[in-house]
Structure 1
Amino acid sequence: MKQLYYVNNNAQPNGDHEVHVNTCEYFAMMYSRTYLGEFDTCQEAVREAGKHYRNVNGCLTCCKPCHTS
Structure 2
Amino acid sequence: MPSYIVNTQQQANGDHEVHNATTGCPYMPNIANQLSLGVHDTCHGAVARAKQTYWQSNGCFYCCPACHTS
Match of 1:16 in 2: 15
Extract structure 1 runs of 4+ deviating beyond 4 A.
none
Name the count of aligned residue pairs: 66
Q: Equivalent pairs: percent with the same residue?
A: 47
SS in 2 for 1:45: helix
Match of 1:68 in 2: 69
Query: Normalising by structure 1, what TM-score?
Result: 0.91
Match of 1:5 in 2: 4
Gaps (5+ residues) in structure 2? none
Written as runs of structure 1 = structure 2, the 5 A alignment for 1:25-64 is 25-27=26-28, 30-31=29-30, 32-64=33-65
Gaps (5+ residues) in structure 1? none
One-letter code of the match for 1:11?
A: Q
Q: Give, in angstroms, the shift of residue 40 of structure 1.
A: 1.1
